[in-house]
Amino acid sequence: MTAGLRAGTGWLPYGSVPSGRPRLFCIPNAGGAASTFAPWRGLATAGVEVCPIQLPGRAERFAEAPHERATVLVDALLAAIGHEFTGRYVLFGHSMGAALAYELARRFAVTGTPPVHLVVSGRSAPHLADVCRPLRDLPLDELIAELRTIGGTPEAILRERELMDRLQVLLRADFSVNETYRCPAGEPLDVPLTVLGGDSDPRAPVASLHAWEALTTGAFDVRVYPGGHFFLQDRPAELVRLMCRLAAG
């Protein structure tokens, strides 16, 4: 464990960091876990600590029921570790995680402890009408076919019917979190916002990435990379360096 880390909680399995150090909090996509970002911890620069967030229903929290609504999930996260979000920190979320990161930033803007930067990835702006086929209620065979199209899930897992039968509870809950979230009414964030996306992502067309601009009065940037929904898997070092620069200031 990195020097300065305190013992982890269920939500922060790699430990928490004293607020004097800049931090990058990372929230995964539907079905994803904190381990997605474990390699990022070794890629961090500028003294930034990468802090992956573990949501209920996966990995060591598998026995916990996953939430089905973003606001309820964020309520639970804030009750458990809301005190961790102080000092200089960046919020990052991919796909479902983007919706959660935005909702967290919105809450912290109200309490006066907003992130120094919000980075969202692989998701259309949450005030737009759905542009993709909902996944949460699909029959399992159709859900597996959609996951195969989206990418990011190893074929060996998709072919294991018994495993997918168990995983579908988590996947459906996570897709429900993502698909039912709507941008709440209110003022735009006064937080710098960077949006990342893949140029061939079927779940987040490039035009839908630019629509995030309506949700902030702060600096705004869109960066589009070659690739599909999981474009970030091809360039982790580049993206971590970018977010570490934002966190370090």
Please give the residue range of the domain that contains residue 56. 23-131+182-248
Q: Is residue 166 in some structural domain?
A: no
Model confidence at 196, in pLDDT bands (50, 70, 90)?
very high
pLDDT tens by residue, 123-173: 999 998 777 889 999 999 999 999 999 998 999 999 999 999 999 999 999
- Domain membership flag for residue 12: no
Domain presence at residue 157: no
Which has the closest alpha carbon to 47: 27, 23, 25, 26? 23
Percentage of the chain exceeding pLDDT 90: 87
6 versus 83: which is more confidently predicted?
A: 83
Residue 171 domain flag: no
19: helix, coil or strand?
coil
Query: Using CA atoms, how far apart are residues 15 and 236, in angstroms rounded to an integer?
Result: 21
Q: Is residue 144 part of a domain?
A: no
- From 95, 124, 176, 208, the catalytic residue: 95
Asked if residue 9 has pLDDT above 90, the reply is no
Given strand 23-27, what is the order of strands in its sheet?
Answer: 49-52, 23-27, 89-94, 117-121, 193-198, 220-225
Residue 137 is assigned to a structural domain of this protein: no
> What does the pLDDT read at residue 162?
94
Told to judge if 35 belongs to the known catalytic residues of this protein, a careful annotator would answer no
pLDDT digits (tens, 9 = 90+) for 199-221: 999 899 999 999 999 999 999 99
Q: Would the pLDDT of 188 be above 70?
A: yes
- Residue 9 counted as domain residue: no
Total domains in the chain come to: 1
> Is 165 part of a structural domain of the chain?
no
Condensed to tens digits (0 to 9), the pLDDT of residues 26-72 reads 999 999 999 999 999 999 999 999 999 999 999 999 999 999 999 99
Q: Exposed, middle or buried: residue 73 (CB in 10 Å: 0-12, 13-18, 19+)?
A: buried
CATH number at residue 124: 3.40.50.1820
- Asked if the model's pLDDT at residue 7 lies above 60, the reply is no
Chain centre distance of CA 125? 13
